[in-house]
A and B are shown apart, each in its own frame.
Chain A
Amino acid sequence: MASSLKYVRVPPNSASLAEARQRVFEFFKTACRSIPSIMEIYTLHDVVAPSQLRSTIASEIRKNAHVTNTKVIDMLLFKGTEELSNIVEHAKQRHHIIGQYVVGRQGLDVGTKDQGVSDFLKNFYKGNYF
């Protein structure tokens, strides 16, 4: 089945940053609206709450909040829509969803530990090669 998302449409070019921003919000709304069906498909009822998934989606979008090039935003939206449709049409499996979007997301937006530290230290904690 091609795409079960009801509202999805990704025309290639956003005319302006405002339009791209609009599209991002529409994508976010689409994703949040598909959360119940995702939880149904992958039986995540005991694992995670919908609000947690919403925060996860929001943080993933926020990771790219600094982008200003409309073409890049369009490309990122395309990738996001692709990922969302993969999840909704059950092309992924439960362990994918849990590993990629549920685990390790504690203290997602509230980075109190890491607020005052430099990029060097953040990268240092993650690994040796940066």
Chain B
Amino acid sequence: MGLGQLASRALLRSTRLAASKPHHLLLRRAVVSTPELHNSEAAAVEAQPEPDLPKRTPVAGARVHFPNPDDAIEVFVDGYPVKIPKGMTVLQACVIAGVDIPRFCYHDRLSIAGNCRMCLVEVEKSPKPVASCAMPALPGMKIKTDTPLAKKAREGVMEFLLMNHPLDCPICDQGGECDLQDQSMAFGSDRGRFTETKRSVVDKNLGPLVKTVMTRCIQCTRCVRFASEIAGVQDLGMLGRGSGEEIGTYVEKLMTSELSGNVIDICPVGALTSKPFAFKARNWELKGTESIDVTDAVGSNIRIDSRGPEVMRIVPRLNEDINEEWISDKTRFFYDGLKRQRLNDPMIRGADGRFKAVSWRDALAVVAEVIHQVRPQEIVGVAGKLSDAESMMALKDFLNKMGSNNIWCEGNGPSPNADLRSGYIMNTSISGLEKADVFLLVGTQPRVEAAMVNARIRKTVRATNAKVGYVGPSADFNYDHEHLGTGPETLTELAEGRHPFCSALSNAKNPAIIIGAGIFGRKDKDAIFSVVEAIAKNVNAVRPDWNGLNVLLLNAAQAAALDLGLVPESDKSIESAKFIYLMGADDENVDKLPDDAFVVYQGHHGDRGVYRANVILPASAFTEKEGTYANTEGCAQTTVPAVPTVGDARDDWKIIRALSEVAGVPLPYNTLSGIRSRIGIVAPNLLHVDEREPAAFSSAFLRPEVKDKPDKTPFERAVDNFYMTDSITRASKIMAQCSALLSKK
């Protein structure tokens, strides 16, 4: 007899008992079993009109791009039909259907390896589970990810992976953000059966940045594929076979690539970790702040992980348009420079030449007094490489109120052309470089100037076999290129059609010409620009749908400075200056400054600028303030404060506003929104955060003719040492180690 009948008998007995105590009846629930309920087929028939399944969205809000909408195929993932573009793999189909399949070796941006076997799913009519990362999805495929077979496969793979994996979790830096930990909790079995001894592997020395504990390696080969595909260096490889496999460099070689830090993010286990960050913190103690990197002009999106007042590490954020998922080594590891050589008190240089710490009141009073004693044309202001748009706006307004218009940003040269925006930004946006098929690099070494732009060029070269021609001093490139020449004569030859590379340029559908910002410092800058514009006209690089004439800037502050109009009146202003205001400007050449000039240095590091300074005003670094920066393609982004300011430092624009008030010419705004509305009048594109505003007019056709011929001097390197380019990186110990060990000499 069925259980239902047993239950009904028990109920009959209990109701007889309950009848004697009627007040307990309310506590009993009637469990009634009827013959219909025993009949399961009838139940299935009844349940046929199912309620609608909840709509499934792709994992992590991903968007699906259908390159050819007619070519969409339909597959079924766990019974749910989903439309995918043709050519997608089973794993990608499951991602679109909202199912996250565990994986170790698969990465969206790397080639498919299929060696971890964690992504096994069951496909109908297939004798064994398939590796979903490698199997292309065919129309009408029925994919099942939660069947006992798939689960058993995952448990088995996890067991194998954990067999030789050391019990390092308490001492491993990846604990808390380890793929192996997370996936073994979610998909692994609860017990292991391994009783033999585990194998161990020798650690490899990859440099001062990447710490290797190769025993923890699960041989997923993500690092090998990253190094060979994206970084372009064939340093890493897999040696040996079977359980004796080791990842290493085979020769005693350090990873000198500027993208080598990204293998730390890519490695799913703690085999490759960050050496400066080793044993410093666990990831759950850290507060992540989404911000922007300012060490170069790319504006890579980063997340600053801080614990209290200290920045512990810097990790990339996803931004498809600018830096994808990678950041350069300089961006990743310069953060320890934020703790050294910090200025935290206003200081005035006494009569004996030594600095004395004073209060803000006294410092501002002294500066205000001196600024009133000089004539307006002797006042000069220089904005630094790391200045944000708000502080540059405040400085320009203040100096203009004092009667001077000699203010510029370092790196822009003595007479920048700020009239047309297309003359100083990357007009094909960084993501647009992927569509180019021929590159002409003029006086720029993107590998050291803007590593993410270089990565994008390499991606294009690798994907479409684009040709790259380079004019400049001999430099290191991680893709095939032709070294066309070293100086402006090559450009003249290209413009006149005499050079063999001209044919490649003219046959190109989307030529991209990238001029380096190192040219801004040359005297024949206008002549060189006119020659390059002639080349662009000849090859039809500037059209309504494609503007291939780009300028690659060097500093984070240059684009915003030129947008705001920080153009000096005269380029000889330094020689006759009596009062110079350096706002974080450490690389400006102040040798020509007269000896009796009064120098005010406002910045966050005691770098080169303070040696000549008379008054030091401590400001906050970019990790401590909310500032707007425009990157080399003209996209405005803001940094967010991650840690509090050091000592008695203040925000840059606040110092200038306070100084203006003490000097008797108060600026009309005193809040951040006030400054931002002022910026909105001058350069409204800087207020459209995270949006790239393309230039309206192209400079190729609108600039006046330049009669001069370019100089014969060959182009120079703009960046000597990739690892030490500004005040923060020069103060960093890790950068010093890198430049000693890893510079490509």
Give me the interface of A with B, judged by CB distance under 8 Å: 113, 117-118, 120-121, 124-125, 128-129
Contacts and interface: CB of A to CB of B under 8 A. Distances in A.
A120 B651 contact: no
- Overall SS of chain A's interface: loop
14 contacts: A113-B361, A117-B661, A118-B670, A120-B657, A120-B661, A120-B670, A121-B658, A124-B360, A124-B658, A125-B361, A128-B620, A128-B645, A128-B649, A128-B650
Contact of A128 (B651, B657, B661, B666): B651
A124 B666 contact: no
A125 to B, nearest CB: 5
Contacts of B371: none
A121 B620 CA distance: 18
Chain B CB count within 10 A is highest, among A117, A120, A128, for A128
B661 A118 contact: yes
Contacts of B644: 128-129
B342 to A, nearest CB: 14
B661 A125 contact: no
Contacts of B359: 125
Given A113-B361, A128-B620, A128-B650, A121 B645 contact: no
Contacts of B661: 117-118, 120-121
Interface string B248-288: 00000000000000000000000000000000000000000
Closest CB pairs A-B (n = 6): A120-B670, A124-B658, A128-B650, A128-B645, A121-B661, A125-B360
Interface of B: 359-361, 620, 644-645, 649-651, 654, 657-658, 661-662, 666, 670
Given A124-B650, A128-B650, A129-B644, 12 more contacts: A113-B361, A118-B666, A121-B658, A121-B661, A121-B662, A124-B360, A124-B654, A125-B360, A128-B620, A128-B645, A128-B651, A128-B654
B624 to A, nearest CB: 9
A125 B657 CA distance: 12
B613 to A, nearest CB: 21
Contacts of A129: 644
A129 B626 CA distance: 12
Contacts of B650: 124, 128
Nearest to A117: B661
A121 B651 CA distance: 13
Contacts of A120: 657-658, 661, 670
Nearest to A116: B661
A111 to B, nearest CB: 13
Contacts of A124: 360, 650, 654, 657-658
A121 B663 CA distance: 12
A40 B96 CA distance: 78
A118 B671 CA distance: 13
B506 to A, nearest CB: 57
A121 B658 CA distance: 6
Contacts of B658: 120-121, 124
B625 to A, nearest CB: 9
A124 B651 CA distance: 10
A129 B670 CA distance: 13
Contacts of B360: 124-125
A107 to B, nearest CB: 13
A113 B644 CA distance: 29
A113 to B, nearest CB: 7
Nearest to B624: A128
A111 B257 CA distance: 61
Contacts of B670: 118, 120
A118 to B, nearest CB: 6
A67 B654 CA distance: 30
Contacts of B649: 128
Nearest to B361: A125
B509 to A, nearest CB: 53
A129 to B, nearest CB: 8
B362 to A, nearest CB: 11
A129 B645 CA distance: 9
A41 B650 CA distance: 42
A77 to B, nearest CB: 34
A125 B364 CA distance: 10
B215 to A, nearest CB: 47
B670 to A, nearest CB: 4
Nearest to B666: A118
A118 B669 CA distance: 12
Nearest to A118: B661
A118 B661 CA distance: 9
Contacts of A121: 658, 661-662
Nearest to A119: B670
A113 B360 CA distance: 13
Contacts of A125: 359-361
